[in-house]
Amino acid sequence: MFSTKDRIPFLSDKETREKVWNHIKEYSFQNGIFVDFINGYSEHCHCLISLGLVQTMSKIMNLLKGESSHWINKSNLCNSRFEWQNDYFAVSVSESIVERVREYIKNQEAHHHRKTFKEEYDEFIRLYCFNKSG
């Protein structure tokens, strides 16, 4: 999961989000990155990714975020310069819950009508005992 720079809701329009998710999925396929499922909301993106043997999450995130932000700006999808936040949040998931994760990612729009991205982020930090500063 990664967010827009300063959590600015650059992707508030559903049509724009769909273009971005489709582009990321197509770019990933062309570059040997298996994005199983992708979706998000106005200021963030969730990807369910299966890493290949020589792939690292850091490298994948750099590629996906860098190329997609370049494409978004080149395509003039936003009124101002688009950027993703520098960091990202990643956890591994067991094969036994992959379908549940897909459903969670699929239902982002409805989910974020009930809970803001910040509330969800803070909950993940508490749930997985991560330190926000590092």
pTM: 0.85
Question: What pLDDT, on a 0 to 100 scale, did the predictor assign at position 115?
Answer: 74
pLDDT tens across 4-48, in order?
A: 999 999 999 999 999 999 999 999 999 999 999 999 999 999 999
Give the Cα-Cα-Cα angle 99, 89, 37 (nearest 5 degrees): 30
What is the percent of the chain where pLDDT is above 70? 93
Q: Which domains does the chain have, with CATH numbers?
A: 2-127 (3.30.70.1290)
